[in-house]
Structure 1
């Protein structure tokens, strides 16, 4: 295999809009291939993508964006992020965060999340009236996860509109081919977000509450260790960025998949007990995160190729989740699929720490859409966002009938 190949052409809008045919062709050629455009190896199959996520010789190795003076705050929130660390630093930080999460925050919020989802759907139904298309993405999918994470952290209601614009600006830095303006916006958002959270953390030290931020401020492990302020701020930002982006995209991609497969939508409506398996299937069928990078800390053989020390390799999660060696009829949406080892939440030590919260949010939102409507119909063709890594929609016009 030569290193001149480009199996994934992200300059082609058709590939970004629907990468799954490209993934299928690539899987048939070789499990791991070099992509000259991205300058890294790509793992297309489930076995190899899973190996990339689990092999401890393939790490998340953060390197500050240069020049340092231009990306000071963006670098700070990644240099101290659990997502960008390897053991033993990762082990220490995850233990502290898990201890704070273990205070029952997710279950505490479950009734509140369901009530919020019900209310958002009722507003959409009232606006649609069974005839007018309304945007479910802006009206619910984007509202719910930001509100939930803000409630989880204890962000005052008046400040919550600040969060989503900050998150949106920061995550655009994870795409390829970004502009200088996108980079400047990301750094500005990071700086404002960091300053805000430092102030909020100081307030929690003065006046503790029952929220997760208070517990992150005060948590100590058995050895007396605690989070530094930079780690605390970074953890809060990561929870919002990762949690909000993934949940929004599963909501949009998943609802669109159901609307395009009306028999599966009706099957779910007829049998609400299928909702937990349906959520897992929607994450598998159209993955919200398509690519996750690793860097080799030693020469590693994956899928018949050698990833040299210092080279990057990425697990293509969407491709792995459509691998016919693992999933029966992988291009078919099956809301009752029980044999479903998708890797949309990652795998290994970096498995998503917010997965339980995401599942609560998604079950609440899809449950509300099904239980509080008699019909859901696509009102117009939705627009897909032009990014590849974070796969999602720009809007989703739906007609809802009470």
Structure 2
């Protein structure tokens, strides 16, 4: 085991560009114990891909953290524990059979035809945002309000509330993505309580006034097994957080990658039919999520390393998506790359349930930005948010 390798994903250098660090880990120690992150880092595509199906690696990763905190004598009524207690109900941090049940009950809201039918409305919204954009931060002007508005609409919430959604999501990101300062749990707890009260009120409203929205669909009408109010509120919180955080990052990161590659940008403008493969390639090249966590529940062996129950494993998607054993010339953007089996949205039973929607929003946003803003240019060198799990910009300042 090469413990001398740099493995801290939160240094300024790794925050700005994590790929040199990840390349070194993947080449020299692909199953690496990180004392900084108190986790094993898996960086090769085959290992990450196999880990998604490895039952020794549990997705139920919040409850064990709470148990470990309790074993260390940390108070159960602390802000940190109360935040973790609320997040432990999320579908994305559960295993079968609980996960299977929650995903089945939520799946009706994500039917392919329901998402496909949103194409025209999403395009109209992007055009409206671009019409109002005169330069400055493209994230604040386009990349954030698009998914936030879409999620608000899908949940049947007033679009005017989307700024509240952002505040809540930003506070949750401090915990979920491993960033923020010592007060992050207190900030997240306040946001979670406000958000929970908001969604419970919305649930009551939809119960008396059903609509053609995702929340009504998740409430169900005939099935014997239904989501409880606690589960509905948790599902709404998860959809709000995952549904706009990931898509905002996808749009911003893809746009930045194109601005830094004027030849590819010009080529896409000449041939819009390349949009689908371009978006898939940019999800691979610099996707919205760097790391997904797993909790070890049974002893397992990966590349000769014994990984024990109670340890954590980081599936480093950003490294897997640039593995030269899986992708030719992985550090280069190839907007015609096909096939492109990246794992930006995970894999298997825990693959992102909203991936179709995220792809649609990203394709439409990037396509309209490219076609409608011909003079788009970087106005300032962008800064990245320090976080273990996410790959997100502070801002994307551009001129138009």
Which range, TM-score by smaller chain?
Answer: over 0.9
State the Cα distance separating 1:76 from its structure 2 match.
Answer: 4.3
Structure 1 residues 175-214: aligned runs within 5 Å: 175-176=177-178, 178-214=180-216
Q: Which residue of 2 aligns with 1:131?
A: none
Q: Which residue of 1 aligns with 2:143?
A: 141
Q: Which residue of 2 aligns with 1:364?
A: 364
Contact 1:52 1:313 in 2 (8 A): no
Contact 2:83 2:185 in 1 (8 A): no
State the Cα distance separating 1:102 from its structure 2 match.
Answer: 2.5
Q: Which residue of 1 aligns with 2:153?
A: 151
Residue aligned with 1:375, SS: coil
Residue aligned with 2:369, SS: helix
Deviates more, 1:283-292 or 1:368-377: 368-377
Q: Which residue of 1 aligns with 2:327?
A: 327
CA shift digits 1:22-68 (9 cap, x unpaired): 11111111221111111111101111111222212211122264533
Deviates more, 1:35-44 or 1:56-65: 56-65
Q: Which residue of 2 aligns with 1:169?
A: 171
State the Cα distance separating 1:74 from its structure 2 match.
Answer: 2.4
Residue aligned with 1:353, SS: coil
Matches of 1:35 and 1:123 in 2, distance apart? 46
Cα distance change of structure 1 residues 11 and 271 upon mapping to structure 2, 3 Å threshold? closer
Contact 1:74 1:191 in 2 (8 A): no
Deviates more, 1:365-374 or 1:231-240: 365-374
Q: Which residue of 1 aligns with 2:72?
A: none
Cα distance change of structure 1 residues 154 and 16 upon mapping to structure 2, 3 Å threshold? same
Q: Which residue of 1 aligns with 2:305?
A: 305
Q: Which residue of 1 aligns with 2:251?
A: 251
Q: Which residue of 1 aligns with 2:92?
A: 83
Matches of 2:388 and 2:313 in 1, distance apart? 17
Q: Which residue of 2 aligns with 1:355?
A: 355
Structure 1 residues 45-56: aligned runs within 5 Å: 45-56=44-55
State the Cα distance separating 1:5 from its structure 2 match.
Answer: 5.3
Matches of 2:39 and 2:263 in 1, distance apart? 40
State the Cα distance separating 1:397 from its structure 2 match.
Answer: 1.5
State the Cα distance separating 1:257 from its structure 2 match.
Answer: 0.7
Cα distance change of structure 1 residues 338 and 289 upon mapping to structure 2, 3 Å threshold? same
Q: Which residue of 2 aligns with 1:116?
A: 125
Q: Which residue of 1 aligns with 2:336?
A: 336
Q: Which residue of 2 aligns with 1:8?
A: 7
Q: Which residue of 2 aligns with 1:316?
A: 316
Q: Specify every segment of 5 or more residues in structure 1 that has no aligned partner in the other structure, as ranges.
A: 129-133
Contact 2:200 2:233 in 1 (8 A): yes
Q: Which residue of 2 aligns with 1:69?
A: 77
State the Cα distance separating 1:177 from its structure 2 match.
Answer: 6.2
Cα distance change of structure 1 residues 220 and 286 upon mapping to structure 2, 3 Å threshold? farther
Taking only aligned residues, the RMSD between alpha carbons, in angstroms, comes to 1.7
Q: Specify every segment of 5 or more residues in structure 2 that has no aligned partner in the other structure, as ranges.
A: 70-74
Deviates more, 1:212-221 or 1:229-238: 212-221
What TM-score do the two structures reach when normalised by structure 1?
A: 0.93
Residue aligned with 2:32, SS: strand
What TM-score do the two structures reach when normalised by structure 2?
A: 0.93
CA shift digits 1:185-215 (9 cap, x unpaired): 0010011000100011011101111111111
Residue aligned with 2:188, SS: helix
Structure 1 residues 208-247: aligned runs within 5 Å: 208-219=210-221, 221=223, 224-247=224-247
Deviates more, 1:191-200 or 1:72-81: 72-81
Residue aligned with 2:339, SS: coil
Contact 1:76 1:230 in 2 (8 A): no
State the Cα distance separating 1:294 from its structure 2 match.
Answer: 0.7
Cα distance change of structure 1 residues 220 and 47 upon mapping to structure 2, 3 Å threshold? farther
Q: Which residue of 2 aligns with 1:39?
A: 38
Residue aligned with 2:362, SS: helix
Q: Which residue of 2 aligns with 1:276?
A: 276
Contact 2:110 2:354 in 1 (8 A): no
Deviates more, 1:337-346 or 1:168-177: 168-177
Cα distance change of structure 1 residues 374 and 179 upon mapping to structure 2, 3 Å threshold? closer
**Count of matched residue pairs:** 390
State the Cα distance separating 1:103 from its structure 2 match.
Answer: 8.0
State the Cα distance separating 1:171 from its structure 2 match.
Answer: 1.3
